[in-house]
Amino acid sequence: MEVKILKEGKDELTFELIGADRSLSQLIVEKLNADKGVEFAACKVDHPLLANPVVTLRTGKGKPVDALVKSLKEIHGDISAFKEKFSELTG
């Protein structure tokens, strides 16, 4: 998936997830908001089918990219753990 950075500041980052839908953008925003280092994270979609989700996040201090990478790693960890549990159960 292609990611387009729309705005990058000292404590703010806005990016567009090209081709993504609500499933992924909602997951990322929820993970970011669970992070105490993130002041604010939200997703804006001009049209749920025709437009790409645009995610904005703001950190109090620290680089926003680091916060995003941390959240993505956590998502990856969650999915790997789920995958493991799932294959254990299904054999």
Q: Which of 23, 36, 86, 90 binds other proteins (CB under 8 A)?
A: 23
Count residues near other proteins (CB under 8 A): 12
Q: Encode 8-33: b = buried (16+ Cβ within 10 Å), e = exposed.
A: eeeeebbbbbeebeeebbeebbebbe
Q: Which of 5, 6, 10, 21 binds other proteins (CB under 8 A)?
A: 21
| Nearest residue (CB) to other proteins, 46 versus 88 | 46
Distance of CA 45 to the CA centre of its chain: 14
Residue ranges in contact with other proteins by CB under 8 A: 19-23, 26, 44, 46-50
